[in-house]
C-alpha cells in the first residue's frame, strides 16, 4: 500500500528460522519510497494470542476512513483458520511501526460446512452503494472450492453472504484470492469500490492443486454479491488464463493511488533443497512489482515491470535489423549476465514451414515444451534467448524461446522456458514451462520478449506482457565465480530477424539492508 509518502510491503516471515511455516509465521514489514529500494522494519504482526498463537498468515490491508486496517488469517489454539483484525497503534506515524489487535478477535470463524483448516486469506475490502464493507475469503466446503463473501457495516461485525462470490467443483482449494475492477478503456488502475462505468472485474485464485495462479474476467453483480464470469467460461481451471506460467504463487495486487495504477506482487519460493535454505539463512522472495491492466479484448490481463525498475539500468548494448540465421547464436558482450534487463523484438519473414500442432495438446503447452527442446530444429523456431550460460560450452543454460505452429484454424506462438540444463547441481527442480502467447502472429509476424535476470530469478514477458513466466535458476558455474553469458539464438530452419535489441546491465537494489537507514 501507499501511505503518507511511503510504500509498505507486508510479507509472510518466519522470525526464528529460514524455513517456511512450523507455526511461527509472522508479518514482516518493509518500506520504500520507490518500490525498488527497501528498508526492513520490526515485525508488524506476530503470534501472541489464542486467535493467532499458531501463526499470523496471509491477509490484506484496507483504508477505512483514511487509515489502514489489517485483516489476516490466524491459526488459533484449536488449529482452526480464523480471520482477525489489527489497527495501527499510531496512524500519524508514516512508518506504521506498531499495530494493535483488539479483544474482539477473531471476527470471522469457520462455521457450518466450512473446513476449519481451509478458510483463509481475506482480500482487501471494498464498500458498496449500500454502505456495507465486503471482503472475500478462500474456503473449502465439503470438497468444493468457494470464495466466500462477508459483509459488515462497522468493519468489526461480519456476516457471511448467502451466496459465495464464486465457486468451482473442479479445482480444489483456492488460496490467496484477489478481486479487483479493471478499466476497459485505460491502463490506469481503479480503487476496489469502483463498480460503474466501462469496467470489468478480475477474480484471481491460487490453486493448491497445481501450486499455480489463475484468473477469470467477468462482471460483479453488487445486488447479489456474485461474480459472473465471461460467457465462454468453463468450470475447468485448465481453460483459465494464468497470472504467470512459471514459478510463482500467492500473488497480491494493490491500487497505487500515487501513480493511478494497479501493481501486483507474487511470491517465488525456492526450488532447491531445504538444506540449501538453511545454508543461505533465508528462503523465498518477491517478484519484481508489475503494473497490471486489461487488454483491449476485454478478456486478458497484461503485466509489465513497473517503470521504476528502469532506474537500475547501467551499461547498454543495442542491435538493429540483425539477421539471425538458421542454426546461429548472437552473443551479448559488455554487460553482466547475472543482473540484466533485455528487450528484444523478433520478426518472421514468412510463416511457411510452421509445423502443425494437434489441438488436443492446447490444454497442456508445458507438455509440448517437455517433449521438444531449444536445440530441436523445427520449421519456425526454436528462437529466443539463452541466459545464465556457462562460458561458450553451454554446459549450463536456461532457454526462453518461441516456436510457431499452425493448427486447423490459425497460427500460434508457443513460448517455452526450459530449465532442464540450467544447473549441474543435484536436488534442484528443473522443469520446462510452456504457454501459448495470444498475439496475432499471422497478421504482425512479430513477437517481443522482455527478460529480467536477477541472479537466481528470471522473469520473462512475451507479447508486451500477455504471457509471463518466472523461473528459479541455480547454475553451478555461478557458485564457482564464473561469469554468466547471454545469447540470442535461432535453431529453426528459417532465418529470423531481430528488429531491435536493447539490453542493460542492472545495478543492485537496496533491499532490507541492515543499518542502511535511507528512510528517516
Q: Is the pLDDT of residue 34 over 60?
A: yes
Q: Is residue 519 part of a domain?
A: no
Same domain, 169 and 288: yes
Same domain, 188 and 280: yes
Query: What mean pLDDT comes out for the span 111-116?
Result: 96
Quote the pLDDT of residue 97. 97
For residue 242, the domain's CATH number is: 2.115.10.20
Q: Is the pLDDT of residue 137 over 60?
A: yes
d(CA 461, CA 464): 7
Which are the contacts of 132, defined by CB distance < 8 A and separation ≥ 6? Answer: 151, 152, 153
Same domain, 283 and 383: no
Same domain, 287 and 390: no
Same domain, 158 and 188: yes
Quote the pLDDT of residue 516. 55
d(CA 229, CA 432): 30
Quote the pLDDT of residue 361. 83
Q: Is the pLDDT of residue 517 over 80?
A: no
Q: Is residue 512 part of a domain?
A: no
Q: Is residue 511 part of a domain?
A: no
Strands 67-75 and 56-64, sheet pairing: antiparallel
Domain boundary among 255, 287, 305: 305
Do residues 25 and 17 touch, judged by C-beta distance below 8 A?
Answer: no
Q: What is the pTM of this model?
A: 0.96
Same domain, 292 and 319: no
What does the block give as the cell for 68? 489502514
Percentage of the chain modeled with pLDDT above 70: 99
What confidence tier does 94 reach under pLDDT thresholds 50, 70, 90?
very high
Which are the contacts of 154, defined by CB distance < 8 A and separation ≥ 6? Answer: none
d(CA 200, CA 298): 8
Do residues 69 and 89 touch, judged by C-beta distance below 8 A?
Answer: no
Nearest C-alpha neighbor of 458 from the set 389, 368, 513:
389
Same domain, 208 and 237: yes
d(CA 20, CA 73): 16
Do residues 393 and 386 touch, judged by C-beta distance below 8 A?
Answer: no
Q: Is the pLDDT of residue 167 over 80?
A: yes
Quote the pLDDT of residue 22. 76
Percentage of the chain modeled with pLDDT above 90: 91
Q: For the segment 288-330, what is each residue's pLDDT rounded down to a tens digit?
A: 999 999 999 999 999 999 999 999 999 999 999 999 999 999 9
Query: What mean pLDDT comes out for the span 142-153?
Result: 96
Domain boundary among 272, 288, 305: 305
Q: For the segment 52-70, what is each residue's pLDDT rounded down to a tens digit?
A: 999 999 999 999 999 999 9
Same domain, 123 and 232: yes
What does the block give as the cell for 109? 470463524
Q: Is the pLDDT of residue 481 over 90?
A: no
Q: For the segment 486-502, what is each residue's pLDDT rounded down to a tens digit?
A: 999 999 999 999 999 99
Quote the pLDDT of residue 231. 86
Q: Is the pLDDT of residue 23 over 90?
A: no
Stated length of the chain: 520
Strand, coil or helix: 159: strand
Q: How many domains does the chain have?
A: 2
Range(s) of the domain holding residue 422? 314-506
Q: Is the pLDDT of residue 21 over 80?
A: no
Same domain, 271 and 378: no
What confidence tier does 408 reach under pLDDT thresholds 50, 70, 90?
confident
Q: Is residue 493 part of a domain?
A: yes
Quote the pLDDT of residue 236. 92
Q: Is the pLDDT of residue 347 over 60?
A: yes
Strands 285-286 and 398-406, sheet pairing: unpaired
Residue 351 gets the label, from left (phi > 0), alpha (psi -120 to 50) or beta, of: alpha
Q: Is residue 520 part of a domain?
A: no
Do residues 25 and 12 touch, judged by C-beta distance below 8 A?
Answer: yes
Quote the pLDDT of residue 54. 97
Angle CA 275–246–341, to nearest 5: 95
For residue 359, the domain's CATH number is: 2.60.120.560
Query: What mean pLDDT comes out for the span 209-218?
Result: 96
Domain boundary among 305, 322, 349: 305
Query: What mean pLDDT comes out for the span 12-37?
Result: 93
Q: Is residue 194 part of a domain?
A: yes
Q: Is the pLDDT of residue 359 over 90?
A: no
Quote the pLDDT of residue 515. 56
Q: Is residue 83 part of a domain?
A: yes
Q: Residue 328, CB half-sphere, CA atoms under 13 Å: how many?
A: 12
Residue 24 CB neighbours (<10 A): 17
Same domain, 390 and 466: yes
Query: How high does pLDDT run on average in the chain?
Result: 95
Nearest C-alpha neighbor of 488 from the set 321, 323, 327, 329:
329
Q: Is residue 50 part of a domain?
A: yes
Quote the pLDDT of residue 8. 98
Same domain, 250 and 393: no
Same domain, 333 and 198: no
- Give the dihedral of Cα atoms 231, 225, 101, 512; nearest 10 deg: 20
Amino acid at each position: 500500500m501507499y501511505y503518507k509518502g511511503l510504500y509498505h510491503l507486508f510479507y509472510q516471515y518466519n522470525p526464528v528460522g529460514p524455513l517456511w511455516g512450523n507455526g511461527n509465521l509472522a508479518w514482516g514489514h518493509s518500506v520504500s519510497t520507490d518500490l525498488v529500494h527497501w528498508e526492513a522494519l520490526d515485525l508488524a504482526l506476530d503470534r501472541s494470542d489464542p486467535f493467532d498463537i499458531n501463526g499470523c498468515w496471509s491477509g490484506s490491508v484496507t483504508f477505512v476512513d483514511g487509515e489502514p486496517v489489517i485483516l489476516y488469517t490466524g491459526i488459533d489454539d484449536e488449529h482452526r483458520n480464523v480471520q482477525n483484525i489489527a489497527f495501527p497503534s499510531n496512524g500519524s506515524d508514516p512508518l506504521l511501526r506498531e499495530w494493535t489487535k483488539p479483544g474482539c478477535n477473531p471476527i470471522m470463524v469457520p462455521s457450518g460446512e466450512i473446513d476449519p483448516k481451509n478458510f483463509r486469506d481475506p482480500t482487501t475490502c471494498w464498500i458498496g452503494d449500500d454502505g456495507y464493507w465486503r471482503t472475500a475469503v478462500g474456503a473449502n466446503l465439503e470438497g468444493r472450492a468457494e470464495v466466500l463473501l462477508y459483509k459488515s457495516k462497522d468493519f468489526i461485525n461480519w456476516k457471511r453472504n448467502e451466496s459465495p462470490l464464486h465457486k468451482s467443483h473442479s479445482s480444489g482449494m483456492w488460496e490467496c484470492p484477489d478481486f479487483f475492477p479493471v478499466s476497459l478503456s485505460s491502463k490506469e488502475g481503479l480503487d476496489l469500490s469502483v463498480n460503474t462505468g466501462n469496467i470489468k472485474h478480475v477474480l484471481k485464485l491460487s490453486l493448491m492443486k497445481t501450486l499455480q495462479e489463475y484468473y477469470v474476467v467477468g462482471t460483479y453483480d453488487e445486488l447479489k454479491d456474485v461474480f459472473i464470469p465471461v460467457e465462454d467460461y468453463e468450470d475447468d481451471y485448465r481453460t483459465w488464463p494464468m497470472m504467470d506460467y512459471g514459478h510463482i504463487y500467492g500473488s497480491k495486487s494493490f491500487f497505487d493511488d500515487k501513480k493511478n495504477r494497479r501493481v501486483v506482487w507474487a511470491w517465488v519460493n525456492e526450488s532447491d533443497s531445504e538444506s540449501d535454505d538453511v545454508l543461505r539463512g533465508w528462503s523465498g522472495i518477491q517478484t519484481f512489482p508489475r503494473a497490471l491492466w486489461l487488454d483491449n479484448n476485454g478478456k486478458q490481463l497484461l503485466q509489465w515491470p513497473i517503470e521504476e525498475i528502469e532506474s537500475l539500468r547501467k551499461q547498454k548494448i543495442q542491435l538493429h535489423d540483425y539477421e539471425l540465421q538458421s542454426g546461429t547464436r548472437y552473443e551479448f558482450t559488455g554487460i553482466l549476465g547475472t543482473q540484466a534487463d533485455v528487450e528484444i523484438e523478433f520478426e518472421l519473414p514468412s510463416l511457411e514451414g510452421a509445423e502443425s500442432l494437434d489441438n488436443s495438446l492446447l490444454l497442456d503447452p508445458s507438455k509440448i515444451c517437455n517433449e521438444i527442446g531449444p536445440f530441436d530444429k523445427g520449421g519456425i523456431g526454436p528462437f529466443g534467448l539463452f541466459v545464465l550460460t556457462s562460458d561458450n560450452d553451454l554446459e549450463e543454460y536456461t532457454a526462453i524461446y518461441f516456436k510457431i505452429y499452425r493448427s486447423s484454424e490459425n497460427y500460434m506462438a508457443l513460448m517455452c522456458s526450459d530449465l532442464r540444463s540450467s544447473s549441474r547441481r543435484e536436488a534442484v527442480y528443473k522443469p520446462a514451462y510452456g504457454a501459448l502467447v495470444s498475439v496475432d502472429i499471422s497478421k504482425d509476424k512479430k513477437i517481443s520478449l522482455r527478460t529480467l535476470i536477477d541472479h537466481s530469478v528470471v522473469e520473462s514477458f512475451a507479447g508486451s506482457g500477455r504471457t509471463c513466466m518466472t523461473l528459479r535458476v541455480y547454475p553451478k558455474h555461478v557458485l564457482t565465480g564464473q561469469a554468466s553469458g547471454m545469447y540470442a539464438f535461432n535453431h529453426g530452419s528459417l532465418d529470423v530477424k531481430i528488429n531491435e535489441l536493447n539490453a542493460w546491465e542492472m545495478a543492485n537494489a537496496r533491499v532490507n539492508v541492515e543499518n542502511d537507514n535511507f528512510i528517516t
